[in-house]
Amino acid sequence: MKTLAMFVMCFFARLCFAQQATPDGGFFDPVRDPVASMMNGRLRLVVSEEVLVRSVAVKLARVGSIERVDRKQFEDEWYLTLESRHAQDIEQSVFVAVRLKPDGKGEYFADAYWTACTGEGCGSCGYGGRMNGCFCMYDKPGEPGTPGACYQTFSDEPLLVKVPLKQPR
């Protein structure tokens, strides 16, 4: 009888834990889920880079091969940043910065404000915050001394969208 009681209690405990761990069936929802968390004085991603890249790529088709996902602070605000190559032209740079808003408890959520810097004849675009905007960090690929340009796009419509935590195979 004790064995049966233990089995039933373990079954219910496991069922309750499973429901708490994935309340939405294994999806990242930027409205509900934080992107980063402040731990020991450092902002750390709590969502995998792969999930964040898929979430951005749904709405911003020009994001191609991702070179770097990071967190950066501009003008006292935190941003999720993605540095990539353009999906249509590998020589062009795309830099995306999504503002993160704190909830006051150490969690940071994706804000609706974001900006993208797209290079034309530029090896790599940079972003200096809302006051400084986009700029070209390196000359045109393969042509040293040929200056390029980075064009800025910004929006106040959310960029990150709900995506599955695991990529369907």
Residue 134 within a domain: yes
With a pLDDT cut of 70, the percent of the chain lying above it is 83
The tokens of 139 are what?
Answer: 């000359």
Give the pLDDT score at 158: 94
* Phi-psi map region of 61: left, alpha, beta (phi>0 left; psi -120 to 50 alpha): alpha
Residue 8 within a domain: no
Give the pLDDT score at 62: 77
Lowest-pLDDT range of 15-29, 81-95, 118-132: 15-29
* Mean predicted confidence (pLDDT) in 146-155: 87
Give the pLDDT score at 18: 38
Give the pLDDT score at 23: 53
Summarize pLDDT for 33-43 with one digit per residue, the tens. 999 999 998 99
Domain count, the chain: 1
Q: How confident is the model at residue 20 (pLDDT cuts 50, 70, 90)?
A: very low
Residue 64 lies in domain:
56-101+111-160
Mean pLDDT value across the chain: 82
Whether the predicted pLDDT of 9 surpasses 80: no
Residue 147 within a domain: yes
Of the two residues 25 and 125, the one the predictor is more confident about is 125
Q: Which of 109, 105, 100, 104 is nearest to 30 (CA)?
A: 109
Of the two residues 162 and 67, the one the predictor is more confident about is 162
Residue 30 within a domain: no
Summarize pLDDT for 44-88 with one digit per residue, the tens. 999 999 999 899 988 887 777 788 999 999 989 999 999 988 777
Residue 13 within a domain: no
Buried b (16+ CB within 10 A) or exposed e, 142-156: eeeeeebebeeeeee
The per-type count for the chain, helices as H runs and strands as E runs, is: 2, 11
Residue 65 within a domain: yes
